Structure 1
Amino acid sequence: MKRFLFGLAGTLALASVASAQEAPDKVTPLFAQDTPLDLTLSGPINKIARGAERSTDAYPATLETAGESHAITLAARGISRRRRENCRFPPLRIRLSEKPAETSLMHKQGSLKLVSHCRDQGSYDQTVLREYAAYRLYNAVTPESLKVRLARITYNDDGKVLTTRLGFLIEDADDAARRLGLKEVDTGNFRSSALIPQDAARYGLFQYMIGNTDWDMTMGPDPKDCCHNSKVLGASKEARSDLTPLPYDFDNSGLVDAPYAVPNAVLKIRSVTQRVYRGYCSVNALVPAEAQRLRDARPALLAELRSIPGLEPKTLQDMEKYLGGFFDDIADDQALEKNLLSKCR
């Protein structure tokens, strides 16, 4: 089974075309719309934030949104963003304590990742929006991606409002698999030949576009638990071929350029904004077609970027300029060969 990035011209909305390969009735209510949510989390927020570096213990809490109230547990998650030297507020794991009703916005939700604001300063809202934009760009490129929902989140602790900041929720990989008619594959490390070549080509090119080197499609830090900042989908949970990688966690990318982001030490780069192509040589023959589709889709991708609510003009300008560097690198087949394909792995 092969799937393709849809080549579009002008400002045609990529997302509407990309969704043609998914089952609309399988999209959960929470991720069926893009309208930003107003959401309130009430619980021991300070305790979770202050203890995040050493603990991911879950605590009873409450989630309120869209006129609904849900009992949940709340826990810190992640690795680098849990370190106090990087962030004063960690990303969170939300688990619903009870199964939501069919009429609920949270219907079919069980466990959700929340990307939070890192520090209680307005500039960090722009960092949140940059990473949200990276997800939205990949949503525009392909339905084989994790959907996201932007939210303005009020944090309550013991009846006291601590802060209200931007964040976003990430679709669970099982839900993404369901709408695509696939299954999440829980596997250890595997060979790149197990991937659908077109999907691997698209994935590697996109990661280069956003300047992300903090990923691996086939391997993870624990050989028994693949993969690094990627989920894998297949025809069944036991599938070991024709696999599709889904990327996540883009805060170390050049497009996001988070204040706490550090360059990939293995690659010996000076800054996270320095692009390094990490795609597989085995799919080189497929990359030129994917690059052409991105060239054709450039106006639509920029339109998607400009549609992100809350992006400040300077932030938008920086991101557009950064994407411009990518399109310079793939301006034609000669540039693509020189800047990317000759440096494959």
Structure 2
Amino acid sequence: MKAALWAALAAFMSVPALAGPATPLFSADTPIRITIKGPITALTSNRSNAQRAGTLTVTGTQESYPIMLSVRGITRRQGDVCQFPPLRVDFPQHPAAGSLFAGQRRLKLVTHCRRNEDFQQKVLLEYAAYRLYNLMTPLSFRARLANIDYVDEDGRPYISRIGFFVEDGDDMAKRNDLHEPKLGDRVSVSQLEPRGAARFALFNYMIGNLDWSMRAGPAGESCCHNGRLLSANKAGSGVLVPVPYDFDFSGLVDAPYATPPDAIPVGSVRQRVYRGYCAHFNEARAVGADLSARRSELLGLLSTIPGMTERTRANAADYLGGFFRDLDSGKALKNCVN
């Protein structure tokens, strides 16, 4: 049993810098332009779980797909929080091989929440968080920016806004030659792969995200909260590596609706708290040293985000700079969770 555990651990520790190829949609970072046509007004006014038929067309190509649209999310789903909800896009028919959406079955679409320009920048900041984690490890969700023309089912334009698709969890696992096992509502610290868990925690500290758990899901749901656990086998035996997602409650994004969890005594999501486990402290120091050495690369990513204003970029760089100052001073890893 112990030999199998260490074998699985070794497999995770030897993950190559470049994993397997992504599906076509997530194999590049250039923004795409699409039109989503369907009952958009109905989706924004009635936020039930009902699926509604529509079409997705890639601008400038012959690619057009029948899709099913549904509302998803928790906080952003609420009408008093977001004028426009996050969406799930299902493909009832397999997109043709070689097409941009080949291999896609079900995708999360992160949308603009509210109409004003500031929320376009919030979308880009959350997208930047995904890209930052991509730089840290291939064990991460890829994302693809999209300029989206939303058109109601009667043909009338509804709104055009930036959004982004998030890679499916199974595709992300497959790309890394791993599996996403079905687990219960809680796992133990000893089941977590130390380096991956330390990286997960320190990244969330970097972007000021407190809205996560790598060990438990929300009440009544399976593990984990804003994180997925990957395993070397479908059963989930051996070590599990956590992968984060959903960063709109982070200090980096600083959404006006974002509040810290009740159990964490801070006054703002901009305040950082390291929530990594003491059992992984040595690995956290190693991850911190690696990130510190790559400071210029990580901060430089912000200049590659299309549509991000200079003001947004400068504010984000200053906020991330605070993380590196915390690393230099020792503040970042001063405390840990037992």
Paired residue for 2:3? none
Q: CA deviation at 1:340?
A: 2.6
**Paired letter, 2:271:** Q
Q: CA deviation at 1:96?
A: 0.3
Contact 2:281 2:336 in 1 (8 A): no
Paired residue for 1:184? 180
Paired residue for 1:81? 76
**Paired letter, 1:327:** F
| More divergent stretch after superposition (234-243 vs 198-207) | 234-243
Contact 1:92 1:116 in 2 (8 A): yes
Contact 2:17 2:137 in 1 (8 A): no
Q: CA deviation at 1:342?
A: 2.1
Contact 1:187 1:224 in 2 (8 A): no
Equivalent residue in structure 2 for 1:35, among 30, 35, 39: 30
Q: CA deviation at 1:127?
A: 0.5
**Paired letter, 2:166:** I
State the superposition RMSD in angstroms. 1.6
Provide the TM-score with structure 2 as the length reference.
0.93
**Paired letter, 2:273:** V
Of all paired residues, the percent bearing the same amino acid is: 46
Equivalent position SS for 1:184? coil
Question: In 2, distance between residues paired with 1:260 and 1:41?
Answer: 27
Question: In 2, distance between residues paired with 1:217 and 1:300?
Answer: 27
Deviations 1:58-107 (A, max 9, x none): 10010111521000000010000011121010000000010111121111
Contact 1:155 1:164 in 2 (8 A): yes
Question: In 2, distance between residues paired with 1:56 and 1:39?
Answer: 24
Deviations 1:9-44 (A, max 9, x none): xxxxxxxxx9733112xx100000111000110000
Q: Does 1:292 align with 2:289?
A: yes
Equivalent residue in structure 2 for 1:59, among 52, 59, 62: 52
Q: CA deviation at 1:121?
A: 1.5
How many residue pairs get aligned? The number is 325
Paired residue for 2:4? none
**Paired letter, 1:58:** Q
Provide the TM-score with structure 1 as the length reference.
0.91
Equivalent residue in structure 1 for 2:39, among 41, 44, 52: 44
Paired residue for 1:126? 121
Q: CA deviation at 1:224?
A: 5.0
Equivalent residue in structure 2 for 1:252, among 239, 249, 252: 249
Equivalent residue in structure 2 for 1:101, among 83, 96, 100: 96
**Paired letter, 2:262:** A
Q: Does 1:236 align with 2:233?
A: yes
Paired residue for 2:335? 342
Question: In 1, distance between residues paired with 2:300 and 2:49?
Answer: 38
Equivalent position SS for 2:315? helix
Over 3 Å counting, the alpha-carbon distance change for 1:224 and 1:105 in structure 2 is same
**Paired letter, 2:209:** N
**Paired letter, 1:329:** D
Q: CA deviation at 1:344?
A: 3.0
Paired residue for 1:20? 17
Structure 1 segments unaligned to the other structure (5+ residues)? 6-17
Deviations 1:279-321 (A, max 9, x none): 0111011111111100000000011121111111110011001
Equivalent position SS for 2:294? helix
Paired residue for 2:198? 201
Equivalent position SS for 1:73? strand
Paired residue for 1:304? 301
Contact 1:4 1:142 in 2 (8 A): no
**Paired letter, 1:328:** R
Paired residue for 2:156? 160
Equivalent position SS for 1:264? coil
**Paired letter, 1:153:** I
**Paired letter, 2:45:** R
Question: In 2, distance between residues paired with 1:284 and 1:124?
Answer: 36
Question: In 2, distance between residues paired with 1:116 and 1:21?
Answer: 29
